[in-house]
Structure 1
Amino acid sequence: MSYNIKYDNVNDTVNNWNFRKEAMVRLLQHYGPQFVGMQEVLLNQLDYLDEHLPDYSYIGVGRDDGKQKGEYSPILYNSQHFELISANTFWLSPTPEKVSKGWDAALERICTYGRFKDIQSGKELYVFNTHFDHVGTEARKQSVNLILQKIKAVNTQNLPVVVTGDFNLEPDSEPIQLMQRELTDGQQATQAPFYGPTGTFNGFDPDMVLDRRIDYIFVENLEVQRYLHIDDRMENNKHISDHLPVLAELGME
């Protein structure tokens, strides 16, 4: 699953995190994804989710200091089913190993990744999760190149790979088309028909036509059995976040 949960902004009134967090936990418990690549997660949000989702552990760091400050792009994983082998975070910039802003980006941006082992089968895979800049055109382009280079560098054994993220880019953009050439767009490869609205961004507007797809799950060496954009809402028809969660059901080949 890929899910931008909208950061806990103290200025948010009706869409405040405190009004959304219980519904988010229920959604995650209902769908039970093995991995959730999240975006815009502050430490207090991560602590809440960690406390209320006891089957899950997480990897990731805050983008502002490489520790706990600023937004995380964490990967939650079901620790009952998967064992963490290694984890790392790099910055989407020309100096990826240190806290930095890249190219024309407005903010620091990161990619967190981990290598995991299926406890039952012993099979391993990589999961990468990212959140691209909302302003920098060059930054988004270079970020794709950097992530693809990193996958090639670490995945020397040609293991299955999942890439989740809010790319702040629509499918007709050049960087997304590069991702689609180098990896498999889960929506294009799904065996069951794609389910859900076209878009993933809702802006907390219950009446918005959902046609802007900016959140994705890409894979390599995995079959995509189902691919969904989940438009589940709270009782008052309010959205749980300003993005829809994206869910892919995957099979190891």
Structure 2
Amino acid sequence: MTLNLRFGLADDGPNKWQSRQKIFPALLAKYHTDFIGFQEANSFQIDYLADILTAYNFIGRRNPAPPFWQNNIIFYKKDWTCVYKEHFYLSPTPTVPSRPLKSLWPRQCTIGMFEKKHRRLICANTHFDFDASVQIESAKLIMKRLSYLPSDVPAILIGDFNAAPLSPGHKIFTGKNQNSADTKTYFQSIFQEPFPGTHHGFTGEANGDQIDWILYRGTLDIKDCKIDRDTIEDVYPSDHFPLYALFKWSN
């Protein structure tokens, strides 16, 4: 599952984080997913989620961090072991806090490799900036960092990409801009055209493209996927809809 939490310090009136957090136990209980990726997570939001997700550990938090800092967090069930993790910036200097000149914010990516019962899975969670040229370089960087990990381990890539499927960044992940017939290292989307919108601004009505994605590659088959457009107690969990996917091992 992936969800942009909406920046917890935003002045959202009746939709502020303090009004929304009460519904998260019910939301998260609906799915029982092994992995949950959150974007725009402030430290106090992470603390709250960690308190209610007692069956999970997490990676991706910068600690200590400025109060306004936004993290890309991966919660994972405790029956999985995190055998590798990294956090980097989507910039020319990924190992230090930084951003490209055309990027409004220091965007980041969190990658983990997890193991359970001799199975391994890579999960990456990111949040792209708005400029198309920055998105292209960000996608290239993530693919490069993923290439350092074992190629035979299936991977899931989630996040808020601030762009529609079939955008230049999306094509880098899915190999659509390649001439090679070998697509084994590329990702595919859980959804097909027409792609459903995922941002709604607390209205419940999608107001644009599918900017939140779940992509996957390797020995995984998609069994189910959905966008959760429901309210709980007449409250939306965020200004984005949560995305959910269920996979099975294909071998």
**8 Å contact kept, 1:133–1:168:** yes
Shift of 1:178: 2.3
Shift of 1:199: 1.1
Deviates more, 1:104-113 or 1:21-30: 21-30
Counterparts of 2:198 and 2:157, CA distance in 1: 16
* Residue aligning to 1:191: none
One-letter code of the match for 2:188?
Answer: T
User: Per-residue CA shift, 1:81-106, capped at 9, x if unaligned?
Assistant: 21111211010001111111124101
One-letter code of the match for 1:202?
Answer: H
**TM-score (ref. length: structure 2):** 0.88
Matched, 1:150 2:145: yes
**8 Å contact kept, 2:102–2:134:** yes
Unmatched runs of 5 consecutive residues or more in structure 2: 176-185
* Residue aligning to 1:25: 25
* Residue aligning to 2:180: none
The 5 Å alignment of 1:119-138 reads 121-134=117-130, 136-138=131-133
Secondary structure of the residue aligned to 1:51 is helix
* Residue aligning to 2:9: 9
Counterparts of 1:31 and 1:45, CA distance in 2: 20
Counterparts of 1:25 and 1:177, CA distance in 2: 36
The 5 Å alignment of 1:14-163 reads 14-62=14-62, 67-69=64-66, 70-79=69-78, 81-118=79-116, 121-134=117-130, 136-153=131-148, 155-163=149-157
* Residue aligning to 1:214: 211
User: Per-residue CA shift, 1:7-63, capped at 9, x if unaligned?
Assistant: 11252211111111121221112211110111000000000000111001110123x
Identity of aligned residues (%): 28
Unmatched runs of 5 consecutive residues or more in structure 1: 189-193
Once superposed, what is the RMSD of the aligned Cα atoms? Answer: 1.9
Change (3 A) 1:201 1:67: same
* Matched length: 237
Counterparts of 1:89 and 1:224, CA distance in 2: 27
**TM-score (ref. length: structure 1):** 0.88
Change (3 A) 1:137 1:50: same
